[in-house]
Amino acid sequence: MLGLNKQDTRLLLLVVILTMAAPFILNPFPEGSAMAQFNAGYPDLMQRFVIFGIFAIGFNILFGLTGYLSFGHAAFLGIGSYAAMWMFKVLGMNVLPALALSVIMSGIFAVFIGYISLRRSGIYFSILTLAFAMMSYSLAYSVLATDMDGPDKQGLLQKGLTGGETGLQLTLQDPRILGQQTTAEGNIPVPSLFGLEMRSAAELNVGDWVFTFSAGYYFAAFVMLLSFYLSIRIFRSPFGLVLKSIKSNQQRLNYTGMNPKPYMLAAFVISGMYAGLAGGLMASMDPLAGPERMFWTASGEVVLMTILGGVGTLIGPVLGAGAIKYMENILSKINSDILHTWFAFLPDGLEDFVVAIIYPFIGKGWHLTLGIIFMLVVIFLPGGLVQGGQKIAGMFRGKKAADEKADGKTTPAE
Amino acid sequence: MGILEVKNVGKRFGGLQALSDVNLSIAERSVHAIIGPNGAGKSTLLNCLVGKLIPDTGSVMFDGQSVLGRKPHEINQMGISRVFQTPEIFGDLSVLENMMIPCFAKRDGAFELNAISNVLSQKDVVERAEHMLEEMNMADKRHMTSSSMSRGDKRRLEIGMCLSQEPRLLLLDEPTAGMARADTNNTIDLLKQISEERDITIAIIEHDMHVVFSLSQRITVLAQGTPLVEDTPDNIKGHPKVREAYLGETQTAA
Ligand SMILES: Nc1ncnc2c1ncn2[C@@H]1O[C@H](COP(=O)(O)OP(=O)(O)O)[C@@H](O)[C@H]1O
Ligand SMILES: [Mg+2]
């Protein structure tokens, strides 16, 4: 179906079903119950799942297929966000032109950054990409944030191209030449798809359960599915095969009459455009773009997502993105009061002891938990969560079935 | 004039003159061996032919065109394929995928952005790769990960990958080094068959005298970076200078 083989089609269908049913799947606990804080089915978080999924899918096209580790991909995320914001300011609140500009601008920057960074390989390539991302960050933070209007004017460029530390925001004065400048109530309009507001949502009450269906989530999920489908096609294409051969033995490829440089650059630009698309979607869900989106920790995060999920696998990056965003948003909300209510059944002394042990790993300490999980995965499951899934499936279905699955669905590129 | 003309090539590494005044002419459709003791400069010479090294002096002409200053992939696209001393294949990929890469290179050139269509839908390339695997007697291994094969099979695959591009000149750097006798004989037979059946020129660097004498029509002896003599295998065997410089100690072993 759709030019995919059976196993890839099955994987795509599975992802379609999971994303479409996510508001149910991610909200398994009834509202008001003790477990309700583990519910992840609220629009803001679900949007982040799919948007970072796109970011990681794109990153995996570069890192998973060619083995080149970019440590500066957040630059494209930021560029995508700023580009979308400028479309909202100048043209109107429709998300489609905004996303188009996000992809185009990040692509242009990726050609430039990739062309220079790809002159080196290995650690030097990573350092060059990191340097470019940090330059982009400081450009956004200060250099491009100076008043470009002239001190006596209050125009579009009053806070420069990026808005500096506070970020780029929409204002009532933005021209929005193709859309409405202000709403009927005199507010700033919100991003929408031909009138369908991204922030609009419908709620469904079933007993004690509340399920939220957000327009923004479904739009972002649709874009993610398209991106995912495209990445399967790339993985299975002659281009994808050449990228894998670069990772395997670049010397042999050179002496086989292919020039690895343009292949690498194409992979870099494609993955930069994925990142730009993710950045544009972020701005579409919440119209604000700040420089911290380009900070090196954001670049590191997508590396973690990809490795955690499974480098070079199709679905791994999406899983990794989901796992990290879940921990970031759910674990970090748990505080010591909540722990005390959970362990209230224990004798007092023991309760305090257990809470004291767990406490460093929750709330602000969620990074600690992430670090431990990451270490465990890298040491015991070098193929990431996907390998873990395959092992579990293998235990259920016997070894043979697991091997079959390993050849098809989620063949690691290594 | 030969298909490959090497004139006055010199190459220096720091204080070491690895090649000096190398002149070599390889006739079309011949098998030409280059022999010489370790460190004689054989690999250095070969690297100068394929764009890995650029000689300090002299010229290298392939079919009337200079190869100097061209990148390895450009030289390959001119029609020169190279087999490495230790087999260089795409270890992570399947045998069939290994064979498809050179077929894509042959069909599409140095770069082609073909990112949407499925590899297996490229019927011409798949057929060509499958056909080549059959010729190499490797069709049954097509879905194996290539790194898991024996050294002899890796060598066979690498030679097959080179041949699938239909090169006019095939360069081999000690293709049987480190191989068991059986694998060595297989490789000799394969190369013999190739040179008889195909419109191809073969230049082979070899240490193993058995291989050299059973394959080649002409032999160049390289010693300390300069050609000592060039002649037919029979004449080389009896050449006093060669015996002294090189064969004396290895003939008993071979
Ligand atoms: N890249 C290099 N840098 C410095 N010296 C080299 C390099 N390559 C080869 N040499 C030296 O050049 C000489 C010839 O080497 P090589 O061509 O590999 O010999 P052969 O293949 O005939 O055994 C040797 O002394 C070797 O150490
Ligand atoms: Mg050598």
Distance between CA A44 and CA A333 in Å, rounded?
A: 15
When CB atoms are compared, the residue of A248, A259, A266 closest to B91 is: A248
> Which residues of B fall within a CB distance of 8 Å from A313?
none
Closest CA to B223 of B2, B21, B14, B7: B21
The rounded distance, in Å, linking the Cα atoms of A171 and A294 is: 23
Give yes or no for a contact between A172 and A166, defined as CB atoms under 8 angstroms apart: no
Reduce the DSSP state of residue A90 to 3 states and report it. Answer: helix
> Cα separation of B117 and B64, whole Å?
38
The span from the CA of A411 to the CA of A312, in Å, is 8
The conformation of residue B247, written as its DSSP 8-state character, comes to I
pTM score, whole prediction: 0.92
CB contact under 8 A, A254 and B118: no
A262/B81 Cβ within 8 A: no
Beta bridge partners of B61: B5, B66
Under 8 Å between Cβ of B132 and B99: yes
| pLDDT for A48 | 96
Nearest CB to A237: which of B73, B101, B114? B114
Please list the alpha-helical segments (H only) found in A199-295. 215-235, 238-254, 260-285
Does the structure's ipTM exceed the value 0.90? yes
What pLDDT does residue B183 have?
A: 83
One digit per residue, the tens of pLDDT, for chain A of length 414 reads: 788 999 999 999 999 999 999 999 999 999 888 788 889 999 999 999 999 999 999 999 999 999 999 999 999 999 999 999 999 999 999 999 999 999 999 999 999 999 999 999 999 999 999 999 999 999 999 888 887 777 777 778 877 888 888 899 998 888 898 888 888 898 999 999 998 999 999 999 998 898 999 999 999 999 999 999 999 999 999 999 999 999 999 999 999 999 999 999 999 999 999 999 999 999 999 999 999 999 999 999 999 999 999 999 999 999 999 999 999 999 888 888 888 888 888 888 898 898 888 888 888 888 899 999 999 999 999 999 999 999 998 888 875 544 544 444 444 443
Spell out the domains of chain B, with CATH numbers in brackets.
Answer: 1-79+167-254 (3.40.50.300), 89-165 (no CATH)
Instruction: Measure B239 CA to ligand 2 centroid, in angstroms.
Output: 23
The residue contributing the CA closest to ligand 1 atom 1 is: B13
DSSP per-residue codes, A7-75: HHHHHHHHHHHHHHTHHHHT--S-TTSGGGGG---SHHHHHHHHHHHHHHHHHHHHHHHH----S-THH
- The SS3 assignment for B17 reads strand
How many residues would you count in chain A?
A: 414
| Cβ-defined contact of A239 to B108 (cutoff 8 Å) | no
| Dmax (CA) of chain A | 75
And the tokens for A233?
């096609």
Nearest chain B residue to A254, by CA: B73
Mean per-residue pLDDT of chain B: 91
Radius of gyration of chain A (CA): 23
Instruction: Mark yes or no for CB contact A257/B93 under 8 Å.
Output: no
Instruction: With beta carbons less than 8 A apart as the criterion, state whether A278 and A77 touch.
Output: yes
Residue from A54, A7, A123, A28 nearest A405 by CA: A7
Question: Which residue's entry shows tokens 């049954």?
Answer: B140
CA distance B91 to chain A (A): 6
Q: Which two tokens stand for residue A214?
A: 């957000």
Report the length, in residues, of chain B: 254
| Paired tokens of A80 | 């995508």
pLDDT exceeds cutoff 70 at B231: yes
Output helix, strand, coil percentages for chain B, rounded to the nearest 5: 40, 25, 35
pLDDT for B144-188, tens place per residue? 999 999 888 999 999 999 999 999 999 999 888 878 888 888 888
pLDDT per residue as tens digits for the range B38-91: 889 999 999 999 999 999 999 999 999 999 999 999 999 999 999 998 899 999
Residue A402's pLDDT is: 46
**Helix, strand counts (H, E) of chain B:** 10, 10
Tokens 């193709």 correspond to A178
The SS3 assignment for A185 reads: coil
A41: Cβ contacts below 8 Å, ≥ 6 apart: A22, A23, A24, A25, A26, A27, A211, A212
Cβ burial of A191 (10 Å; 0-12, 13-18, 19+) is: buried
Q: Label residue A204 exposed, middle or buried (CB < 10 Å: 0-12, 13-18, 19+).
A: exposed
Ligand 1 pocket by C-beta < 6 Å: which residues?
A: B 13, 16, 18, 36, 38-44
Backbone angles phi, psi at B149, to 5 degrees: -85, 165
Query: Which residue in chain B has the smallest CA separation from A238?
Result: B119
HEC string of A274-320 equals HHHHHHHHHHHHCCEECHHHHCHHHHHHHHHHHHHHCCCCCCHHHHH
Q: Tokens 């490797």 sit at which residue?
A: B138
Q: How far apart are CA B232 and CA B216, in angstroms?
A: 8
Ligand nearest to the CA of B39: 1
